[in-house]
Chains A and B, each alone.
Chain A
């Protein structure tokens, strides 16, 4: 059997694939963060809570209305987006003129409130959410047993990331958005409703987090803590990719997922710090991140 650094090749391939699957979640989450930061200049600390809200919305829809996974995949992110739009309109938008720190503090407090509320009602142990019937079971790839659902997550994540990137970089709406953040007064003078654009952007970012939450529900426990476990890593991903760089966030998400996966094979104890070590190195060599623009 072929060995690489003392690890059998099939095992290594398996770990690479798993890293890629985890990278899909990082990419989805950091994408939403990058959209919000890049266009609104808000450091959205509520992103983990919005991810958790997505998972819980799917769970609550299933339990209380019988709405299954597939409809929830569309409905739950829309609900999260709507709630977030409301929050942006009534509260967050008042902070745009102040220092970035206020937005950070506001969203951080918001996250604590949302998570605390859910913990109060649902406890910490989490709720189960079954894998959709269509995707249960797995496929033997020869080098590993791939659960079908995880395969689906990879495909879904790539499609979504690509779609969002195209939306912002290649469409007219995306052009408005980018212009509105460069020079809001000028864009407003052209007759574009800038506040509405910003609300939509925040809702889009939050909706992406919600979507990642729904995708995560069948894999992880639907737990009030699920977001806070992930958010710090996702922030590191965004920083490494370059704050505000949407393409950078996507690519970095996948790459770091794979690197973390490899760490779990060679030195598992370090698997939760490897991302931060990389972040420190990147910040020393390229303070604006790998894909960020130096200001």
Chain B
């Protein structure tokens, strides 16, 4: 029982700054409700409630965390605060990277808090648990934080959508592009658990397909303090690229050790298979320079992006990464789908989400496959050197674009059996 209490205890409203908007939205909604009673009846409980569930205190608190809640709030703001004349509310909770806690929160949200959809879902194990529960309860999930291909693969759901990235796209982006550029021999440092394995496996597939070779791998326990020993092994392998199939602090410490032990200076490249702007900033440009990584969004790519980043910065004091902006896009698209469907009933909204193209500041020409995978272009970035960087957040240079179809593959490749989905 205490598990439930812990989960709810850390939940907070979306942030005091959005409260007035919610209130105003409520008033407007009330007025509109009087004017258009027919449309308003289509929203259950007279409110559209979106739950942002992620890690708010652990290793991924910067990768997703409060930033996703801020981004979701901006999406509601951009949509106008109401949908079909009813207010939109964002709530959030900390799943502590534990699947059981995540499921309990989701259950409580659906059963007693009238939550209509859950988003972000950092950490694949939690994403899968919540998506499974949501399928049972016929609720929509839009995963932006979790990265396993299984989410829209073997364990796909007719109401589950996978929005920002997955391990396949990261491998295609980082490994594929580097091998094509001639960096064809690899040595992996792999976190010794499912996520690391699948990341290394996906990347190896790509490297070998493109004619490269994997010279070896060292598997380290999760939360390793010191990577210097592995750096010596990587150095000894003579590989052109050291691929980091790990995440969070492990990757940061590995990158730091690679710089310290002169791997980067001697011409070996370091490629992180899951690393975002939040971690690069935390690591510092000195240590992260030259690092290759794949993301789906960067604030300095266009005027539209810069403008959004400025608004986000004003609210949160940091720049967003692809998970944060992915959550923005997911919330926006969800509201658009409700608007198009004329109801917030799960099946109708899911149908619209599958049909509608995704066109916002996050994804250009985005489309949603029948397995729920949102397909859009990804980018390979290289972290700038301190000399190239002109500002605190001027961290990436764009190296290559990875077309969405290449990055995400087909429904057949995903292993999702869409024939089990309810047909209409």
Contact = CB atoms under 8 A, between A and B. Distances in A.
- Decide if A and B are genuine partners: yes
Interface of A: 8, 11, 14-15, 18-19, 21-22, 116, 119-120, 123-128, 130-131, 138, 144-145, 147, 149-150, 219-221, 223, 225-226, 229-230, 261, 264-265, 268-269, 271-273
Contacts of B60: 124
A131 to B, nearest CB: 8
A269 B221 contact: yes
A269 B219 contact: yes
Contacts of A264: 218, 220, 229-230
Nearest to B225: A229
B284 A128 contact: yes
Given A15-B232, A124-B58, A223-B249, A145 B219 contact: no
A123 B282 contact: yes
A125 B249 contact: yes
B228 A18 contact: yes
A147 B261 contact: yes
B352 interface: no
B223 A229 contact: yes
- Pick from A123, A124, A268 the residue with the most CB of B within 10 Å: A124
B249 A18 contact: no
Given A19-B229, A119-B61, A147 B260 contact: yes
Chain B residues touching A, range = 35 or more
Contact of A124 (B62, B281, B286, B287): B62
Nearest to B279: A125
Contacts of B221: 269, 271-273
B4 interface: no
The 3 closest A-B pairs by CB, nearest first: A128-B284, A125-B282, A264-B229
A111 B261 CA distance: 32
B15 interface: no
A126 B228 contact: no
Nearest to A127: B282
Contacts of A149: 260
Nearest to A15: B229
Contact of A126 (B220, B260, B282): B282
15 contacts: A19-B229, A22-B225, A22-B226, A119-B61, A124-B57, A124-B58, A128-B286, A147-B260, A220-B225, A221-B256, A230-B225, A271-B221, A271-B224, A272-B221, A272-B224
B236 to A, nearest CB: 6
Given A128-B286, A220-B256, 8 more contacts: A125-B281, A126-B282, A220-B253, A221-B249, A221-B252, A221-B282, A226-B225, A271-B221
A225 B249 CA distance: 9
Contacts of A219: 226, 256, 260
A223 B282 CA distance: 10
B323 to A, nearest CB: 13
A277 to B, nearest CB: 14
A251 to B, nearest CB: 20
Contacts of A221: 249, 252-253, 256, 282-283
Nearest to A272: B221
Nearest to B262: A145
Given A123-B282, A125-B249, A219-B260, A21 B232 contact: no
B77 interface: no
A144 B232 contact: yes
Contacts of A119: 57, 61
Contacts of B394: none
Contacts of A127: 282
Contact of B219 (A8, A230, A268): A268
Contacts of B192: 269
Nearest to A130: B286
B65 interface: yes
A265 B236 CA distance: 12
B248 A124 contact: yes
A202 B161 CA distance: 54
Contacts of B253: 220-221
A81 B361 CA distance: 51
B233 interface: yes
B197 to A, nearest CB: 12
Given A138-B261, A219-B260, A221-B249, A124 B59 contact: yes
